[in-house]
Structure 1
Amino acid sequence: MKNHLMALCVLSVAFISGCSTYATNRYSISADNVVALKNVAGNKVAVGAFGATTPGVSSIMCRGVGPIKTPDGESFENFVRNALISEMKIADVYSDDAGVKLTGNLDKIDFSSASGKWTLGVTLNSSNGNSLSVTEDYEFTTSFYGETACNQTGQALMPAVQNVITKLVSNPEFTTLVN
């Protein structure tokens, strides 16, 4: 009986003190990125696999309060890959069987919920031998309070990814990747 009571107490404490999970928003295209893609891509482009310096990560712990996760539990590198594909599809420059194929690497992904900043580094490699690397330091409003800060951190990933894609597709060197 004593063991059952102890187990019930432990389960009750775990249930009451459980942690939150902060899912990021689904990716939403940027009109500016679509326009930039339409202006630089002369041909259709395919997108292959994306790797990462730390592959397969789909969550990052925030202040011990709970993890920041992608909306569908996909890895962060696939979140960025799928965001790029979405932008390219709307710009009508994407094709699975295009002659030029981009692959990528998520070189860095990290955040500070204290200072309010996501840092993303991405490298795109083209099947034509060219590559392009960019880094985005996306700043957002944060809070001293952990629950609020982690929620704001989760909400800030999607615009941070939009900005890193903007840096890629607006870079003059991007045309050397896709043409």
Structure 2
Amino acid sequence: MKISLFTVLLVVFISGCSTYSTIRYSIAPDNVVALRSLDGKVVNVASFSATNPDQKEIMCRGVGPIKTPDNETFAEFIRKALLDELRMANVFSAAAPVTLTGNLNSIDFSSMNGTWNLSLTVNSSNGKSMFVSESYPYTSSYYGETACNQTAQALMPAVQNLVGQIVRSTEFGSLITP
């Protein structure tokens, strides 16, 4: 049986590749509890940048890209996560005397090892800054479709841990103090 090049290309074109959307961010109760202990301090959050600007997706095993649920950049996904936690704890105020910004230094994963790796620098308008990184392990698979899906689902808890490292750090208080 002879298969033409056109037939092969048609099959590849029709089958396409999968896109793996991460799940929406969900509040982590431990983060909110930590934030509520800040004795009435409030903070504003401005834009986040990234070392790799405008990064909205990371290719997974050639099967398809991992993307955020609203197709925003990974830096914006993390900024919104921090904002959600601050709002839930009633610690966010657009009129706060201190504003935080951030830079997503790096974000990557290994779908073979089952690990998300994130690093972030948080800067305060008071001149202080802090660096946090998260290496979040998750269960992966040898099979590409399954591994990429599990990778996409693991980003949200990885970001919860990253935000937790910020808000539960002893350095956080100095970031939000005028």
| Alignment TM class, shorter chain as reference | over 0.9
User: Residue deviations 1:91-115, cap 9 Å, x none?
Assistant: 0000112111000010110000000
**Residue 174 of structure 1: which of 172, 175, 178 is its match?**
172
Aligned pairs for 1:132-171 within 5 A = 132-171=130-169
What one-letter code is carried by the residue in structure 1 that aligns with 2:62? G
User: Residue 46 of structure 2 corresponds to which residue in structure 1?
Assistant: 48
C-alpha displacement of 1:12: 4.5
RMSD across aligned positions (CA): 1.6
User: Residue 98 of structure 1 corresponds to which residue in structure 2?
Assistant: 96
Structure 1: gaps of 5 or more residues: none
Compute the TM-score of the two structures, normalised by the length of structure 1.
Answer: 0.93
User: Residue 14 of structure 2 corresponds to which residue in structure 1?
Assistant: 15
Aligned partners of 1:113 and 1:153 also within 8 Å? yes
User: Residue 32 of structure 1 corresponds to which residue in structure 2?
Assistant: 30
Aligned pairs for 1:114-129 within 5 A = 114-129=112-127
What one-letter code is carried by the residue in structure 2 that aligns with 1:131? S
Structure 2: gaps of 5 or more residues: none
**Residue 111 of structure 1: which of 109, 112, 117 is its match?**
109
User: Residue deviations 1:108-150, cap 9 Å, x none?
Assistant: 1000000000001011100111101011000000000000000
Aligned partners of 1:41 and 1:93 also within 8 Å? no
Aligned pairs for 1:74-85 within 5 A = 74-85=72-83
Q: 1:177 to 1:51 in 2, by over 3 A?
A: same
User: Residue 72 of structure 1 corresponds to which residue in structure 2?
Assistant: 70
CA–CA distance in structure 2, aligned partners of residues 116 and 6 of structure 1: 36
C-alpha displacement of 1:7: 6.6
User: What secondary structure does 1:50 align onto?
Assistant: strand
User: What secondary structure does 1:40 align onto?
Assistant: coil
User: What secondary structure does 2:93 align onto?
Assistant: coil
User: Residue deviations 1:27-63, cap 9 Å, x none?
Assistant: 0000100011111364211001100010110100000
CA–CA distance in structure 1, aligned partners of residues 84 and 22 of structure 2: 17
CA–CA distance in structure 2, aligned partners of residues 178 and 77 of structure 1: 20
Moved over 3 A (4+): 5-13
User: What secondary structure does 2:127 align onto?
Assistant: coil
